[in-house]
């Protein structure tokens, strides 16, 4: 007898059109699809071709018609401003329709791009849904990114409008956004026609006459806008994510496949029933925020929590327990780093005892490797299943998980359990051959990918093929290395590229190297990710100075740290660099970043056969020891 997971998994691979076609029936279509899966232009696949939909209609209006209008749709909980505000489905739909009217009034229409650069306020979700309502394509940029990063995205997406706020609020400071968005617009070659500014009382933003529009004024005057039918294959959003260079990749998400996959995932991956309260403690600037703060819970008729705060410091390590008990949260989804922060501040979970958590039944973790210690700590204190699951910005939803709505398997610490239906996960060696169970290799997914995964990169079909599909023809390369055990459990071990994961935030060491290399005194540089107890990884820079530079190295380090903060943003958490005489390289000139990282983390390593001069490794070790890494740890 096979279980529900195995049946679903096999059918999703053997009969994807039948499987996803059935899943799509739970949603509203203005016109049904002509084909569930169009594979006529391989390696580009399209889902639900010929179908006409509206994601916002499915997230809001549909539920109101089904009698959910009075149910809470979104709870904005902001310990940093002392605010809790609940929007019912009726109220959220009204705000979204009005803001859709604001955008339409500014000339934004179907297919136009809108950049949303906002802190964790309800208006960020309202702006996203308003774009979806009129068929505009949103691109949310995380508030922790600097002006330069915003400028890169403005140039690539070419938005008609930017929606922003006067400030963001971190634990210890208010961050005025106006210098950031104005700085970005000044830097960018493309200029948006309008900037809509949500003025927050913590810091007012000066307005540029003729260009800037006040959110509140515009909402008061706007006419609500109805949903506009779009093709299922039309883009819903672009979300930029770190690649291996300073030029981020614009991951595209379609409308039809996305809503089908996300609604399905709520039922079968998370085991959530409509009407329940679901909380993803992330940020709308990341894919977790797109999928599981905004779209999936609303598509499934849940109450979603939008939390403007941190796991610790707002005000203490009991913050998550307060939110769970106050809003009767059933499932929480967050990054392991949040739990490491809570565990560090409250090792015995004493604060948990102050709250009634009887409503809470499952914790989901993703975004980085779940270290078994943290996972066990959460299991012990919460006394609920703790479910690790693995996915990426590109995939939009889980590739591997313990599907709680199908057939929960016993948890193996260190593994996000099994491939989710739709995902044919395999492990290949360098030559593209499948390896035996337990052997580490490249984690890939056989094409076609299921609905909801990226159809391409924005205006960059070639880069899409080159980045993901060319190394292993017929497969999508995840960029992660790992293995699958005899029982089919997937283990994700590390990235195979220059991407690092800092506090669940995906960052490119290549992008940081580009910043360091632009310092006038730096001849050469390298950035690696070193292990960190709280954030999982932290970036660490190595600088080789130009001949004849006699300045104090500490000053230069201070300058490059400031440059990374200024050009990439505080979220890069780039705080440490060291000056060395030379970098270890292969004879062909490739910098041995992997070996440097192993030395920093005190891991054993084999002397690379192709190393140019082994003596350099001793110099690197000495430099690392001096700043508290390697033998100085
Ligand atoms: N706007 C402006 N600055 C921001 C920001 C934002 N939206 N988000 C973070 N920053 C700043 C922080 O203030 C910090 O600045 P600092 O260098 O002056 O201290 C810096 O960027 C690094 O931020 P962060 O990585 O969040 O570190 P932290 O020390 O403030 O908090 C954690 C550590 C673990 C509590 C925090 O990272 C966390 O809650 N992580 C949860 C993970 C998560 O949500 N991941 C998303 C994917 S699921
Ligand atoms: P992002 O695109 O920001 O979601 O980051 C995706 C990357 O985070 C993946 O490619 C992995 O390297 C890492 N990641 C996400 N979830 C997990 C997980 N559950 N276990 C291990 N690594 C993960």
* Structural domains for the chain: 500-632 (3.30.300.30)
* Closest approach atom of ligand 1 to CA 285: 7
Cα(148) to ligand 1 centroid in Å equals 19
Cα(457) to ligand 1 centroid in Å equals 27
* Closest approach atom of ligand 1 to CA 502: 25
- From CA 611, how far away is CA 600, in angstroms rounded? 18
Assess whether the C-beta atom of 175 lies below 6 angstroms from ligand 1. yes
C-alpha to C-alpha distances, 170 to 144, 312, 315, nearest whole angstrom: 10, 12, 12
1: confidence class by pLDDT, cuts 50, 70, 90: low
Closest by CA to 129, choosing from 11, 290, 271, is: 290
Question: Does the pLDDT of residue 246 top 80, yes or no?
Answer: no
- From CA 156, how far away is CA 141, in angstroms rounded? 12
Q: What is the SS3 string spanning 471-520?
A: CCCCEEEEEEEEEECCCCCEEEEEECCCEEEECCEEEEHHHHHHHHHCCC
**Residue where the block lists tokens 């409308």:** 255
Question: Does the pLDDT of residue 532 top 80, yes or no?
Answer: yes
* Closest approach atom of ligand 2 to CA 416: 19
Q: What is the CA radius of gyration of the chain?
A: 24
| Long-range CB pairs of 8-11, under 8 A, 24+ apart, other chains included | 8/268, 8/403, 8/406, 8/421, 9/418, 9/419, 9/420, 9/421, 11/421
Residues with CB under 6 A from ligand 2: 241, 287, 366-370, 388-393, 416, 478-480, 492, 495, 501, 506
Choice from 140, 244, 391, 445 to test ligand 2 binding pocket (greatest atom count within 8 A of CB):
391
pLDDT tens digit sequence for 409-445: 999 999 999 999 999 999 999 999 999 999 999 999 9
Question: From the CA of 144, which ligand is nearest?
Answer: 1
- From CA 293, how far away is CA 286, in angstroms rounded? 10
Closest by CA to 423, choosing from 517, 355, 490, 504, is: 490
For ligand 2, atom 23, the nearest C-alpha belongs to 368
pLDDT tens digit sequence for 558-597: 999 999 999 999 999 999 999 999 999 999 889 999 999 9
Q: Average pLDDT in the 470-493 region?
A: 97
* Closest approach atom of ligand 1 to CA 575: 17
pLDDT tens digit sequence for 177-204: 999 999 999 999 999 999 999 999 999 9
Assess whether the C-beta atom of 168 lies below 6 angstroms from ligand 1. yes
Q: Given this model, what pLDDT does residue 608 score?
A: 85
* Closest approach atom of ligand 1 to CA 571: 21
Choice from 310, 316, 318 to test ligand 1 binding pocket (greatest atom count within 8 A of CB):
310
Closest by CA to 215, choosing from 77, 88, 122, is: 122
Cβ neighbours around 210 below 10 Å, total:
8
Q: Given this model, what pLDDT does residue 243 score?
A: 81
Task: Specify the pTM.
Answer: 0.96
Assess whether the C-beta atom of 335 lies below 6 angstroms from ligand 1. yes
Question: Does the pLDDT of residue 557 top 70, yes or no?
Answer: yes
Question: From the CA of 371, which ligand is nearest?
Answer: 2
Question: From the CA of 398, which ligand is nearest?
Answer: 2
CB-based burial, 71-92: b 16+ in 10 Å, e otherwise: bbbbbbbbbbeeeeeebbbbbb
Cα(196) to ligand 2 centroid in Å equals 33
Cα(282) to ligand 1 centroid in Å equals 10
Assess whether the C-beta atom of 180 lies below 6 angstroms from ligand 1. no
* Closest approach atom of ligand 2 to CA 394: 2
pLDDT tens digit sequence for 356-388: 999 999 999 999 999 999 999 999 999 999 999
Q: Given this model, what pLDDT does residue 610 score?
A: 85
Residue 42 half-sphere exposure, CB side, CA atoms within 13 Å? 10
pLDDT tens digit sequence for 54-95: 999 999 999 999 999 999 999 999 999 999 999 999 999 999
C-alpha to C-alpha distances, 312 to 79, 320, 331, 429, nearest whole angstrom: 11, 8, 19, 42
Tokens of 229: 């039918």
Question: From the CA of 493, which ligand is nearest?
Answer: 2
Question: From the CA of 120, which ligand is nearest?
Answer: 1
* Closest approach atom of ligand 1 to CA 282: 44
Question: From the CA of 574, which ligand is nearest?
Answer: 1
Question: Does the pLDDT of residue 245 top 80, yes or no?
Answer: no
Q: What is the DSSP string of 232-288?
A: TTSEEEEEEE--SSSS-EEEEEESHHHHHHHHHHHHHTS-PPTT-EEEE-S-TTSHH
- From CA 252, how far away is CA 447, in angstroms rounded? 17
Q: What percent of the chain has pLDDT over 70?
A: 100
Dihedral of the alpha carbons of 295, 297, 298, 300, in degrees to the nearest 10: 120
Tokens of 581: 């005489």
């Amino acid at each position: 007898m096979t279980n529900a997971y195995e049946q679903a998994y096999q059918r999703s691979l053997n009969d994807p059109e039948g499987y996803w076609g059935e899943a799509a029936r739970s949603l509203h279509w203005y016109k049904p699809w002509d084909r569930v899966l169009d594979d006529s232009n391989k390696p580009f696949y399209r889902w639900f071709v010929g179908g006409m939909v509206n994601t916002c209609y499915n997230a809001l209006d549909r539920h109101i018609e089904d009698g959910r209008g009075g149910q809470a749709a979104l709870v904005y909980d902001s310990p940093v401003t002392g605010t809790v505000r609940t929007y019912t489905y009726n109220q959220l739909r009204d705000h979204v329709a009005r803001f859709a009217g604001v955008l339409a009034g500014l000339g934004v229409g179907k297919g136009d791009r809108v950049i949303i650069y906002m802190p964790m306020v309800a208006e960020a979700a309202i702006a996203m849904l308003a774009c979806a309502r009129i068929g505009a394509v949103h691109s949310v940029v995380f508030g922790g990114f600097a002006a330069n990063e915003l400028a890169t995205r403005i140039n690539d997406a070419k938005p008609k409008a930017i929606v922003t706020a006067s400030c963001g609020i971190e634990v210890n400071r208010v961050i005025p956004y106006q210098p950031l968005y104005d700085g970005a617009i000044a830097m960018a070659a493309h200029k948006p026609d309008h900037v809509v500014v949500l003025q927050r009382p913590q810091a007012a933003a000066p307005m540029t006459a003729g260009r800037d529009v006040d959110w509140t004024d515009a909402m008061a005057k706007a006419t609500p806008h109805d949903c506009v039918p779009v093709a299922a294959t039309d883009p819903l959003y672009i979300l930029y994510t770190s690649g291996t260079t300073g030029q981020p990749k614009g991951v595209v998400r379609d409308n039809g496949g996305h809503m089908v996959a996300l609604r399905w995932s709520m039922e079968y991956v998370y085991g959530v029933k409509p009407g329940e309260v679901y909380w993803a403690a992330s940020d709308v600037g990341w894919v977790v925020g797109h999928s599981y703060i905004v779209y999936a819970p609303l598509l499934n008729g849940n109450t979603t929590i939008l939390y403007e705060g941190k796991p610790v410091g707002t005000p203490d390590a009991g913050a998550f327990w307060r939110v769970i008990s106050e809003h009767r949260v059933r499932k929480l989804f967050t990054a392991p780093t949040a739990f490491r922060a809570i565990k560090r501040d409250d090792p015995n979970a004493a604060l948990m005892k102050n709250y009634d958590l009887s409503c809470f039944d499952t914790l989901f973790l993703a975004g980085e490797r779940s270290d078994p210690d943290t996972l066990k700590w959460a299991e012990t204190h919460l006394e609920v299943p703790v479910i690790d699951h693995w996915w990426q910005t590109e995939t939009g939803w889980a590739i591997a998980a313990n599907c709680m709505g199908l057939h929960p398997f016993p948890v193996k610490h260190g593994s996000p359990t099994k491939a989710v239906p739709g995902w044919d996960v395999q492990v290949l060696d360098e030559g593209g051959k499948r390896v035996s169970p337990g052997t580490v290799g490249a984690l890939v997914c056989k094409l076609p990918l299921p609905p909801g995964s990226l159809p391409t990169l924005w205006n960059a079909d070639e880069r899409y093929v080159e980045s993901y599909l060319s190394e292993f023809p017929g497969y999508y390369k995840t960029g992660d290395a790992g293995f699958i055990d005899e029982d089919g459990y997937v283990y994700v071990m590390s990235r195979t590229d220059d991407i690092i994961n800092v506090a669940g935030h995906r960052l490119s060491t290549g992008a940081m190297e580009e910043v360091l290399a632009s310092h006038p005194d730096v001849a050469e540089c390298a950035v690696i990710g070193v292990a960190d107890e709280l954030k999982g990884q932290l970036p660490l820079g190595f600088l080789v100075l130009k001949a004849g530079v006699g300045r104090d190295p500490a000053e230069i380090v201070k300058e490059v740290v400031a440059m990374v903060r200024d050009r990439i943003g505080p979220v890069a958490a780039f705080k440490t660099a060291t000056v060395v005489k030379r970098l270890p390289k292969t004879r062909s000139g490739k910098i041995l970043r992997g070996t440097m990282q192993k030395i920093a983390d005190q891991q054993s390593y084999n002397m690379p056969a192709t190393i140019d001069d082994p003596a350099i490794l001793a110099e690197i070790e000495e430099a690392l020891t001096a700043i508290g890494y390697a033998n100085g740890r």
